[in-house]
Amino acid sequence: MSSEQLTKGLPLFDHYPHTAGHYGGDTDMEAADKMERSGSAATLRSNVLKLLAIHKEGLTADEAAEILGEILGSIRPRFSELKKRKLLVDTGIRRPSSNGNNQRVLKLAE
């Protein structure tokens, strides 16, 4: 399936960060398209916002994924989209991620 067929009627990358983005590969585009068309991405973005409304001090994507019972690969992109939309801000705090690297703690923008 060509990239034009996958994005027909919904050029996903052109609407990032309001829709799931991709890096242009066929599997990336398929995954982004599936996340948006199923409503999963919107639901996860909403769940992240609700969670951060409770955890006012902020969370890392790893922490949010664990609390929500979701895989990190579904939550980290939602954090990026919400930050790009200026709905989340960097607290300046860093905590180790599941792989030991420092990860930003983000919170709701005021």
Domain ranges of the chain: 3-108
The residue type at 103? Q
| Average pLDDT over all residues of the chain | 82
Q: How confident is the model at residue 6 (pLDDT cuts 50, 70, 90)?
A: very low
Query: What's the predicted TM-score (pTM) here?
Result: 0.77
Strands (E), the chain: 88-96, 102-108
Question: Please, are residues 51 and 84 in contact by the beta-carbon 8 Å criterion?
Answer: no
For residue 82, pLDDT over 70 is answered with: yes
**The pLDDT value given to residue 58:** 98
Distance CA 110, CA 94 (A): 20
* Top-confidence residue, 20 or 77: 77
Q: How confident is the model at residue 40 (pLDDT cuts 50, 70, 90)?
A: confident
**Average pLDDT, stretch 41-61?**
96
CATH of domain 3-108: 1.10.10.10
